[in-house]
Amino acid sequence: MGKTNINKKTSRVALLGILGAEALALSFLENFIPAVPGLPPGAKPGFSNIVTMFTASTMGLWSALGITLIKSIFAFITRGLTAGLMSGAGGLLSTIVMILLLKWKKNPFGIMGISVASAVAHNIGQLIVASILSGTPALIWGYGPLLLLFAVITGAVTGTILKIILPALEKQKKALGV
């Protein structure tokens, strides 16, 4: 049998579906990581952002925003409205920062820098939503510095993981002909 000729658009949709499933699986598995003392409830390492960053770098803004939307809907369904809103705001800001840094002509940041910057942006988006929902702007100053440190650490970890698994993600993309 010869190789099946699959339409490029179909291949992209299939890859986006696989990436969305991977992001959801990572998001689900993060729920089993115990809370870090001193951090706000729900603070997570953001492993699903590994998939978002790969999507942003290989498929562009709209595909990355699609992954972000899927993750936000998943957070809403599994953890409620507040989690959905915080996931959406953090994910949107994080994805925009990723895309801007990836498009920078002489990108001096690399995967690690982009990962850290997008983790910081994610936490800023979440803090803004938490402040609005609670009516307490002091949350930004109270949790902000701690979350900034957490974002730098988790951004470095997710950037490192992305570097390690990048060949497997590229192989997955190539297998679909995208």
1 found inside a domain: no
- Residue 2 in domain: no
Instruction: Say what the pLDDT of residue 88 is.
Output: 96
Region of 26 please: left (phi>0), alpha (psi -120 to 50) or beta. alpha
Q: What is the pTM of this model?
A: 0.88
Query: pLDDT above 70 covers what percent of the chain?
Result: 96
pLDDT at 21: 96
For residue 98, which amino acid is it?
Answer: M
Which of 165, 156, 168, 166 has its CA nearest to residue 45? 156
Question: For residue 22, what are the CA distances in angstroms to 1, 26, 146?
Answer: 31, 6, 29
Q: Tell me the pLDDT tens digit for each residue of 112-169.
A: 999 999 999 999 999 999 999 999 888 888 888 988 999 999 999 999 999 999 999 9
Phi, psi of 102 (to 5 degrees): -70, -35
CA proximity to 51, closest of 103, 118, 101: 118
Residue 158 lies in a domain: yes
Question: Is 96 part of any domain?
Answer: yes
More confident: 38 or 140: 140
78 within some domain: yes
- Domain membership of residue 24 (yes or no) is yes
Residue 104's domain comprises: 8-175
Residue 95, domain member (yes or no): yes
Residue 78 has pLDDT above 70, yes or no: yes
Decide if 85 is inside a domain: yes
What is the number of structural domains in the chain? Answer: 1
Looking at residue 159, which CATH number applies to its domain?
1.10.1760.20
